[in-house]
C-alpha cells in the first residue's frame, strides 16, 4: 500500500501495484505444450519449465478486466501461502510481456474432479435403477 497526503491533511491509501512488471526472460523459460482447461477468466496449460527441467501447469488470465486481475492476484497470493497435501504448490508468477498475468504450479496428473463427479453420479443412477 502507498499512502499519499492530500491537501486536506487526510491520508489517502492507494492499492499497491497489482502485479510486478513484465519480465522478458519468462518467454524463454516456459514453453506451453497444450491447453489443459479453460474457464470464464483464464486457462490452464501444460508447460515445460526450461530452467528447472520439469513439466508444470501454467494458469493465465485471458480477460482484460481490472476486477478479474485483482481476483487473479488474490488467488495467487492466497494459494502461494497455503501448504496442504490437497492444495497445489505454486512455483512462480508474473506478467508476460503482453501484460497478461500468469502463475506456475505443480502439475497434478489424474482425473479432473468434474469427471469424477459425473462418473459417481452415473454409478448412483445405475445402482438405484
- Encode pLDDT of 52-109 as tens digits: 999 999 999 998 889 999 999 999 999 999 989 888 999 999 888 888 899 999 999 8
**Longest pairwise C-alpha distance within the chain:** 74
CB 96 within 8 A of CB 104: no
% the chain with pLDDT above 90:
46
Question: Is 0.75 surpassed by the pTM of this model?
Answer: no
CA–CA distance, 56 with 47 (Å, rounded to integer): 5
Q: What SS3 state is found at 102?
A: strand
Sketch the domain layout of the chain as residue ranges. 19-128
Q: What is the CATH number of domain 19-128?
A: 3.30.200.20
Amino acid at each position: 500500500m502507498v499512502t499519499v497526503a492530500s491537501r486536506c491533511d487526510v491520508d489517502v491509501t492507494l492499492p499497491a501495484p497489482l502485479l510486478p512488471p513484465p519480465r522478458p526472460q519468462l518467454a524463454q523459460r516456459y514453453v506451453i505444450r497444450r491447453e489443459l482447461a479453460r474457464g470464464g477468466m483464464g486457462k490452464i496449460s501444460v508447460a515445460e519449465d526450461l530452467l528447472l527441467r520439469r513439466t508444470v501447469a501454467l494458469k493465465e488470465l485471458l480477460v482484460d478486466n481490472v476486477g478479474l486481475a485483482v481476483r487473479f492476484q488474490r488467488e495467487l497470493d492466497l494459494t502461494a501461502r497455503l501448504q496442504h497435501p490437497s492444495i497445489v504448490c505454486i512455483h512462480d508468477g508474473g506478467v508476460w510481456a503482453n501484460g497478461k498475468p500468469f502463475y506456475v504450479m505443480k502439475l497434478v496428473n489424474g482425473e479432473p474432479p468434474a469427471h469424477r463427479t459425473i462418473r459417481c453420479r452415473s454409478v448412483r443412477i445405475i445402482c438405484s435403477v
